[in-house]
Amino acid sequence: MTEQTEAMVAEGPPAGDLGRRLAARRIELGLSQGRTAARAGMATSYLQYLEEHAGSAPTRGALLKLAGVLETTVSALTGGDVDLPPGTGQAAPAPEFTELSRTECGDLLSTHGVGRLALSTDQGPIIVPVNYSVVDGTIVFRTARGTTPSQADGCRVAFEVDRIDDVFSQGWSVLVRGHARLVTDLGERLRIADQSHSTPWTGGRRDLWMRIEPSAVTGRRIAV
């Protein structure tokens, strides 16, 4: 079992928003509570308290130390940037722009997350976010009849996923172009449901499965 998995199993779910953000970022970096606390110069029990108690109120100094260790910002840890678009930081002094290989694009797309679906409708081009998974090298997502994503059936579409790191002014994006179709075969739907990870954040009943067969996959990265 990896250190990251051990941390997730042993420590349980944190309670407060700050605690959830601390634990999520720590786990994302593969850090245990002990290692994170040591790097921040605080007791492990104190970090555990911050992660598990919704009413915890750490000092500004403690938050600055944790933000540094977790390679993020105080605003991100406290939720102050939740309504801001990504990329509000300044550009790095010497950014390096590179094209990603097909393998690199696949690695970044893999498993699941939130991506943007672009399609043409009677009202014109529309871009909507959807929770997606990757099954058999194709993009799959759940939707409902009558929604904008359901209009992608039988159409050529674009699908984009990206990640922006405001702290270091770097990030990447992957663009998939292909043909979308509604999955009608019951066996295929059951197999996709079994192998997918994402549940639509919008809630409600989402009975339709849509699949995007990629015809072109490209990507770019900005690094410091």
Q: Is 19 exposed, middle or buried (0-12, 13-18, 19+ CB in 10 A)?
A: buried
The confidence score (pLDDT) of residue 201 equals 74
Q: What is the dihedral of CA 52, 54, 55, 56, to 10 degrees?
A: 40
The confidence score (pLDDT) of residue 147 equals 92
Domain ranges across the chain: 3-78, 96-223
The confidence score (pLDDT) of residue 199 equals 76
The confidence score (pLDDT) of residue 141 equals 95
Question: Do 172 and 108 contact (CB within 8 A), yes or no?
Answer: yes
Q: Do domains 3-78 and 96-223 have the same CATH topology?
A: no
The confidence score (pLDDT) of residue 9 equals 35
The confidence score (pLDDT) of residue 6 equals 35
Architecture of domain 96-223: Roll (2.30)
Question: Do 149 and 117 contact (CB within 8 A), yes or no?
Answer: yes
- Under CATH, what is the fold of the domain 3-78? 434 Repressor (Amino-terminal Domain) (1.10.260)
What is the DSSP-derived secondary structure letter of residue 71?
T
* Residue 171 CA, distance from chain mean position: 13
Low-confidence ranges of the chain (pLDDT < 50): 1-15
Render pLDDT for 73-88 as a digit per residue (tens, 0 to 9): 888 888 876 666 666 6
Residues 187-193: contacts with CB within 8 Å, 24+ apart? 191/135, 192/133, 192/135, 192/140
Question: Do 214 and 89 contact (CB within 8 A), yes or no?
Answer: no
Tell me the CA distances in angstroms from 85 to 15, 68, 220, one per residue in order.
Answer: 26, 22, 19
